[in-house]
Amino acid sequence: MGTTRPDNGFVAHCMELLAVLGPIRAKRMFGGHGLYADDIFVAIITGDQLYLKTDDQTRPRFEAAGCAEFRYDRRAKDGSVTTASLGYYQPPEEALESAALMAPWARLSMEAALRSANAKPKPKPTPKAKAKPKPPAAEKSPVALKPSSGAAATSAAGSRSASKGQKLR
């Protein structure tokens, strides 16, 4: 995965705020950034706004705090536009002021991300392809050597057999 250094102050600030979750890594994506804690996708940054991952268990806390949901317009093949959401919410404004205020929201995001990661079926290992049986090789008939009288014929046959890797009997 191509990770990036936080190239603006807001990305770096968000990484510091979420450091309670462990080392945070930022990756550029879709004009914004994805934030990972321990290779778990926990947040997105777009337009200098931080959005934390939620699920059915954590979403009510964000909604009760008046947090805004991440939404975007999606254009269908027929040209119609619909509004879509991914289940990411902004943390309360005051949580952006300190890591201590962000900690409970960051933990909720990590819990949702872990539940999501554990709910996905693990990829099945691909069975090793069995070696296809090789077609039987055409059996080579041994080269019949004519009995000859003379050493020249024997040495010529011997060198011909040796060059083909065949044994003389």
Q: What is the pLDDT of residues 59-104, one digit of tens each?
A: 999 999 999 999 888 898 999 999 888 899 999 999 999 999 999 9
- Give burial (CB, 10 Å; 0-12/13-18/19+) of 50: buried
Helix or strand (DSSP H, E) at 87: strand 81-89
| Residues found in the chain | 169
Tell me the domains of the chain and their CATH numbers. 9-119 (3.30.1460.30)
Residues 143, 167: Cα–Cα separation, whole Å: 10
pLDDT tens readout for residues 18-27: 999 999 999 9
Structural contact between residues 102 and 17, judged by C-beta atoms closer than 8 angstroms = yes
Amino acid letter, 24: I
What's the whole-number mean pLDDT along residues 115-133?
73
Q: What pLDDT score does 127 carry? A: 67
- Mean pLDDT within 127-138: 63
Evaluate if residue 122 carries a pLDDT over 90.
no
Strands 49-53, 40-46: parallel, antiparallel or unpaired by DSSP? antiparallel
Does residue 137 have a pLDDT over 70? no
pTM for this predicted structure: 0.66
Least confident of 15-19, 27-31, 32-36: 27-31
Three-state DSSP at 73 gives strand
Share of the chain above pLDDT 90, in %: 55
How confident is the model over 11-21, as a mean pLDDT?
Answer: 96
Give residue for tokens 């099945």: 124
Identify the pLDDT of residue 1. 40
Q: Which residue type is seen at 162?
A: A
> What share of residues in the chain are helix, strand, coil (percent, to 5)?
35, 25, 40
* Residue 50 near residue 26 (C-beta atoms within 8 A): no
